């Protein structure tokens, strides 16, 4: 767990990073920003609020990762903060290779007094604001009030950000990332091109991997092998979520035996795991502590809805005991029977 209760600025610098594909420029600063207590409090809120402390990352390709090298240099020698911050800004400028990316202000911060677990450490924050808002400033005069228009950064609209904690340096550090991007974006210039980070191989990541594997098997693998109804698929998804909520430790054999029950299904799931690992470049551990926030996040994405042609939808919240599927020979149509006590 990470705590921001004592966090403070040790150093802050701001650079302007445009999109060179649009003809924008890179403007770097030679001096740190001097802050008053009020502004520091506002900026701390601006920079730390978006981070949920659920999923963590590390730097990938350490030998060739420019941001990792600059961050490591700053941690080892504070006096190079300005020089290395300029390198980070230039690297972002050079690696913005999409015309749709907005330019903006790049804040690079050296934090002190971050608490990671029971350890006190420092951290590097890299934040980008891309859009400005219009504000109306109202000032009184001798005869009337005057309204002036100003442009500025909205403190609740951080576009991109990351906090790199000085923790487990040789493994790529402990990193939180905030990457607000379009839902349909296939790749993130911030997380992938610029930072080059990968999910940390922890309980959160392992829990997410297994749930994703199970979901893909139930929704895509099973229908190719067996004649399984959508209701049966949803029932297996519910059983999966409930199993993860009821257990503290994941065990592959225990989960597959209790969820899929028959040897035929269990063997197919084992085989599907191997192909899922290869296709997604992941390794699923046989045992690990279950991360409940990961379970809750994945459960929100599981669809419990049956769509019947373009006329009806059935939403199943629990098991399918009160739902029966059949076929009407006279009409040649399928049907569902729903059994219930009360109607609201």
Q: What is the DSSP string of 278-322?
A: HHHT----SEEE--HHHHHHHHHH---EEEETTTEEEE-SS-STT
* Full-model pTM: 0.74
- pLDDT for res 187: 62
* Mean per-residue pLDDT pooled into runs of 10, the chain (344 residues): 86 94 93 88 88 87 95 96 97 89 92 89 93 73 76 74 93 90 67 91 90 90 79 82 92 92 89 90 89 85 65 62 69 71 68
- pLDDT for res 79: 94
- pLDDT for res 155: 66
**CA distances (Å), origin 124, targets 13, 113, 118, 181:** 12, 12, 19, 22
- pLDDT for res 296: 86
User: For the chain, what are the domain ranges?
Assistant: 2-199, 224-338
Instruction: Return phi, psi of residue 300, to 5°.
Output: -65, -25
- pLDDT for res 226: 78
- pLDDT for res 24: 92
- pLDDT for res 176: 93
- pLDDT for res 306: 61
- pLDDT for res 97: 84
Cα separation, 209 vs 201, in Å, equals 10
- pLDDT for res 243: 93
CA-closest candidate to residue 240, choices 215, 265, 203: 215
């Amino acid at each position: 767990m990470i705590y921001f209760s004592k966090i403070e600025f040790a150093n802050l610098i701001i650079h302007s990073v445009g999109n060179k594909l649009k003809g924008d420029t890179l403007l770097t600063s030679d001096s740190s920003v001097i802050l008053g207590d009020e502004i520091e409090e506002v900026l701390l809120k601006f920079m730390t609020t978006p981070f949920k402390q659920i999923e963590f990352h590390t730097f990938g390709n350490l030998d060739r990762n420019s941001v990792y090298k600059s961050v490591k240099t700053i941690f080892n020698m504070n006096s190079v903060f300005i020089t290395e911050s300029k390198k980070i800004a230039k690297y972002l400028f050079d690696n913005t290779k999409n015309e749709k990316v907005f330019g903006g202000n790049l804040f690079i911060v050296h934090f002190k007094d971050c608490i990671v677990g029971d350890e006190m450490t420092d951290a590097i924050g890299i934040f980008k604001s891309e859009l400005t808002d219009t504000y109306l400033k109202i000032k009184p005069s001798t005869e009337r009030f005057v309204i002036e228009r100003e442009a500025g950064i909205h403190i609740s609209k951080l576009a991109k950000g990351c906090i790199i904690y000085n923790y487990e340096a040789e493994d790529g550090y402990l990193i939180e990332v905030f990457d607000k991007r379009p839902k349909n974006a296939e790749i993130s210039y911030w997380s992938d091109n610029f930072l080059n980070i990968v999910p940390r191989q922890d309980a959160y990541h392992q829990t997410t991997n297994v749930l994703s594997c199970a979901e893909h098997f139930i929704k895509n693998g099973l229908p190719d092998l067996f004649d399984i109804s959508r209701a049966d698929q949803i029932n297996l998804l519910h059983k999966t979520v409930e199993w993860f909520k009821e257990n503290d430790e994941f065990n592959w054999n225990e989960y597959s035996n209790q969820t899929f029950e028959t040897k035929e299904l269990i063997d197919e799931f084992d085989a599907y795991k191997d192909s899922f690992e290869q296709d997604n470049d992941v390794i699923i551990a046989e045992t690990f502590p279950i991360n409940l926030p990961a379970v809750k996040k994945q459960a929100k994405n599981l669809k419990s809805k049956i769509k019947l042609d373009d006329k009806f939808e059935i939403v199943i919240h629990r098991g399918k005991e009160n739902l029966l599927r059949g076929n009407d020979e006279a009409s040649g149509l399928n049907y569902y029977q729903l059994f219930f006590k009360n109607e609201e």
